[in-house]
Amino acid sequence: MGLFRLVTGLPGPSGFGSASTAEQVTDGIDASHLTVVITGGASGIGAETARVFALRGAHVIIAGRNMEAADDVKQLILRSTPLARVDILKLDLSSLKSVRAFAGQFLSMDLPLNILINNAGVMFCPFQLSEDGIELQFATNHLGHFLLTNLLLERMKSTAKETGIEGRIVNLSSIAHLLHRYEEVIRFDKLNDKDTYSDKKAYGQSKLANILHANELSRRLQEDGANVTANSIHPGLIMTNLMRHSFLQMCLFLQL
């Protein structure tokens, strides 16, 4: 039934389905009291998320590696929503130094933080090491977001406590965590093993790490009594720049 709804767009119990747009889902919502950080907000799902949050009045922080692309998204938003509050900040999730610099810059702005959407990522890319010497998909998709979340968590907790508004952390994972797996599931001792590297299994590994991160963080937040939730989601199959290393495979899958 899940795949059937995905392909047909048939609404689920919520009244929405895979054919529903972000504007439809957020219709009538006033987000003017919220500040949102969106990683990878310069393209794809992140850009649309930024646009619709801004449309609903939220103060949106677009965190992106390509500042020119991020500014293009900002200008696009301002053309359709002239009073939108949008800032862009540099963030390369494959670099722990960049993650720390972004967090420092954001915190120095002395803004509240209600929502953190860990959206950015790379998918099915050839074997590469990050500048920190870590396999690129694991470094970008998991470690960068893990560090970013930890660096911003206290600001989220304090915002939730001061405003009474539940904070939300969202990790964009993928059903690939089930479809593509190494025998060891997560190869902690072989993250950088080029000889046995699989682009798809490495991606699935990083997406499983996103889920485990959200699950454990959720447990700890509840244990601490913090008014912040952490969840992971599968956003569906959407033809964005993320598919650049698997375009033909995705086209075939979508025809099934």
Per the structure block, which two tokens stand in for 39?
């990683």
- Say which residue the tokens 């929405």 belong to: 16
Contact at 8 Å (CB) between 173 and 234? yes
**Residue 136: half-sphere exposure toward Cβ, Cα within 13 Å:** 17
The residue annotated as part of the active site, out of 197, 205, 207, 226, is: 197
Contacts of 99 (CB under 8 A, 6+ apart): 91, 92, 93, 144, 147, 148, 151
- Say which residue the tokens 């990790």 belong to: 171
Q: DSSP characters for 107-127? A: HHTT----EEEE-----SPPS
Nearest alpha carbon to residue 63 among 157, 140, 134, 1? 140
Tell me what percent of the chain is helix, strand and coil, each rounded to the nearest 5. Answer: 45, 15, 40
Contacts of 205 (CB under 8 A, 6+ apart): 137, 138, 177, 180, 181, 182, 185, 186, 187
Q: Look up 182 and say whether it is catalytic.
A: no
Active site residues: 197
